[in-house]
Structure formats: C-alpha cells, structure tokens
Amino acid sequence: MDTGSEDSRPMDWMVNSRIKNLVALVVGGGSGMGEATAKTFAANGGKVATADLNGESAARVAAEIVKDGGDALSVRMDVSDQAEIDAGVQAAIGRFGRLDILVNTAALVKPGLLEDIPIDEWKRGIEVNVHGALILARTCLPHLRKSPSAAIVTVSSLAGEHGYVRGGSYGPSKAALTTLTRQMALEWAPYGVRVNTVIPGTIDTPMARAAVRLEVLQSRAAKQIPLGQLGRANEVADLIVFLASPAASHITAQDIRCDGGLSHGMFMAPMGGVPHAPQRST
C-alpha cells in the first residue's frame, strides 16, 4: 500500500488486532497525518470514512485505499459546520452501519500577531480547532456509545503548551483542544468511550511545509530535535491508530507527544545540536 511517504515503514503492524472491521471516521483525512492515519487503519483491516474541507483530497485518499483493497468512502466536511458534520456522519453510518472510532486531525493555522490579528481570523481559528472538535465529537457520540471499542483521538500541538509567536489563535486554540479532549474523556468514560489527544512535534506535512521552507525545517530539526530529524506523518499515524485501537483499552484522558524529544530538547541547541543522532531505517 502507498504510504504517501518516501520510506518503507510497514503500515499493517496491527493486522491481527481487533481493528479489523472497526469503522473509523478520519476528519482532516485528505492530507498529512489524517491521510496517513486513514491509510494505516485501512492497512490493518479497518473500514474508513475520510472527511475533509478539501473534498477532492478526501476522495483521492479513499480511492487510493479502495485501489489497495481496502474499504473506504469520502465526504467533504467543514468541521465547524453542523449540517456538514451531520451529513458526513450519516454517510458513514449509512454505508458501514456503525461507527467505532473518530479521529480529528483537521486544523486551521492562520498566522497573525495578537496586537493586530483581525478578530474574524482569531475567531475562525477557535471555531475550527475548538468549536469544531466539540460539535464533531458530540455528533459522533450516540454512535460511538453503541460500540464496545469506542475511541476518539484528537490532534493538538506543542504550540498549545508553549505559545507560538505570530501564530494568531492557533496556540490558544490547541491549548483549549487539549483540555477539551480531557474533559470529553472524563465525561464520556462512563459510556465506554476513550478519548485521547496526540501532540506532534514538527512533522513533515503540507501544513508544516506551507509555514516554513523544508530546508529550514530540516536544519532546525537537526539542532532542536533530540532524534535529529523531522517526524513523518506515518509515525504520528501509528500512535493515533494504537490509541484508537482496543490495544489501548486502559488509556484515556491522556495527551501523548510524538515529537522526537523536541518538547524536552531545550538543552540541545546550546550544545550544537545532536551530533550522533542515528538515522531511522523505517
């Protein structure tokens, strides 16, 4: 199966798990970590609905999954629009008859300084990254409650922990998303729905490349990330799929970082980076 990356990392490492035949809705599934997550679910026997603001991207990912022998459909969905969420969830239920897993990787990054960011842009970031995460999850909740293997995974950011200069509402929205995820976990634990968030470091995706040139990302990674290189979408997807799977049955209300050590790398730069960081082979 095409992993959408240059490496040969195997995607079917959970092929004998109970992911087989579970149904996952992956919102933001048309690109980057969402695309890798949708393909990893499918490679392990799950059925997938890909949803994205970019309907063509969502359709491309679903078509690639089907071409590789998986079961997938796609919908266009703006995660901040209740009517589009309703239609997308209904499409998934109509096709697969159930929903076990929700993954939300969708996010809006709109650069801006706090002193003069247009308030409409500020609000839009909160609307997509926080409000959207809530209305999406609670629309899925009645279906997830029927599943014995229900799980939600959101994707937050280190920007929500450390601040992100010129990031507009992105950092504050991600801080809110991390807390929102924890609150969903606590309120929905009695329903048997596990909810966790993944906090990526710097991952080589279209979003990261749109914000900063690849050469700059790589040179920063060599200096600041203890493992010495950018993360890949597949590496985050593996964590998301694990957390969403029955293999993580006792894990909820957690925020788990996949960052090559970046969040604890504050002493790396003064020492000149990571001279002996090994290159990964997969």
Ligand X SMILES: NC(=O)c1ccc[n+]([C@@H]2O[C@H](COP(=O)([O-])OP(=O)(O)OC[C@H]3O[C@@H](n4cnc5c(N)ncnc54)[C@H](O)[C@@H]3O)[C@@H](O)[C@H]2O)c1
Binding site for ligand X (CB under 6 A): 27-28, 30-34, 52-54, 57, 77-80, 105-108, 128, 155, 157, 200, 202-203, 205-208
H or E segment and range at residue 240 = helix 233-244
By beta-carbon proximity to ligand X, the closer residue of 154 and 245 is 154
By beta-carbon proximity to ligand X, the closer residue of 34 and 45 is 34
Least separation in angstroms between CB 54 and ligand X: 4
Q: How far apart are CA 49 and CA 96, in angstroms?
A: 9
Edge-to-edge strand ranges of the sheet holding 101-104: 71-76, 47-52, 23-27, 101-104, 151-155, 194-200, 255-258
Least separation in angstroms between CB 243 and ligand X: 14
CB 7 within 8 A of CB 1: no
Q: Which residue's C-beta sits nearest to ligand X?
A: 32
The C-alpha angle 196, 26, 136, rounded to 5 degrees, equals 70
By beta-carbon proximity to ligand X, the closer residue of 200 and 265 is 200
Q: Is 191 a known active-site residue?
A: no
Catalytic residue of the set 96, 164, 170, 188: 170
Question: Long-range contacts made by residues 214-222, C-beta under 8 angstroms, separation at least 24?
Answer: 221/260, 222/273, 222/274, 222/277
Q: How far apart are CA 253 and CA 186, in angstroms?
A: 7
The phi and psi torsions of 196 (rounded to 5 degrees) equal -135, 160
H or E segment and range at residue 231 = strand 231-232
By beta-carbon proximity to ligand X, the closer residue of 45 and 88 is 88
Least separation in angstroms between CB 143 and ligand X: 19
By beta-carbon proximity to ligand X, the closer residue of 163 and 206 is 206
263 by Cβ neighbours in 10 Å (0-12 / 13-18 / 19+) ranks as: middle
Least separation in angstroms between CB 217 and ligand X: 8
Least separation in angstroms between CB 198 and ligand X: 8
Please report the DSSP string for 179-195 in residue order.
HHHHHHHHHHGGGT-EE
Q: Which residues have a catalytic role annotated?
A: 170
